[in-house]
Structure 1
């Protein structure tokens, strides 16, 4: 689950005003967990989501906003998807925060190739969010099975806008996650950019080795 537009309140205000900060642990096992749920009945998918899994919060503890718009692929996004510059994309901006806190957990922007998902008009409608089962179920509705998820993490100082929206203390960096979904035909079917506050985000990677 995920707030529309930037939070405009001043940077550095007391957390008693903004509400509690919520730590999150992102591990790579979440992707199989999401895929396992992608074909589950709607009621089962609606019970919880990846944010609840990462934070330990319940769905009722969270406030979610989504904003969609159509854009043309920049050089960076065209290269990421392997499509020509100018290809029509669906940009989806997500903000999820803890109820009572004005600071979102992270800043998420997700991209889909519009023609790849347009056969299901619901996927073009922000009013259908939050979508039970998330992106993997959305792709499943148009016949796309995710084969693997590639994640690249970097870090840098925040921009002034990011520092305001995430209410970052001075000196705290942001973690940048570029997440790429590839389907069983090796096509890039989703690209997401996630900006996370480094002072309350933990990245956990578990590598399972097959037994001899």
Structure 2
């Protein structure tokens, strides 16, 4: 292959586009902790390989050859016209698999299996904040956010919450604000709250009712 370094880098980047796309989806919407540069590159490579393996299995199932496997042949171009459709299909596979992978990761399917068989008691890489507000339980939707410094309680539905970090953020809807004596102070259709993670006290009044309903 007579390729310059710049063109070789570009063509390799195109070939590994499925892996980078899958890695980007996973990093943005699935991974909860900071990853090193090496981990990101390794994930992109592995996700790309998996995408092409799935494509190879599909091609074999329908009786078509996978031309990208013949790149080691003399005179074979990296971005040959026969290879470009395969890269496109692999990219679509990576997009689909990335979405499914993130969905399964956020729903803790594999972790729940490990918990069922007694392999672990952990719920994942994220902290309890992410675990609670990412859960499907309706009992965590209505919260009492108790502010001890201002001596007020914000009651409302959680509509948005921040990712893990030093500053925790909540967007509450249909908010009622009380003082510590239980007197209603005011109401707001929407309220944004931001606090340091060490200064947060949140109660879930619907959790007990939800648990009782599920037990019946």
TM range (shorter): under 0.3
The structure richer in strand per residue is 1
- Higher share in helix: 2
Q: Given the two structures, how large is their TM-score scaled by the length of structure 2?
A: 0.21
Q: Point out which structure has higher relative CO (alpha carbons under 8 A, 6+ apart).
A: 1
Q: Which has the larger Rg?
A: 2
- So what's the TM-score if we normalise by structure 1? 0.21
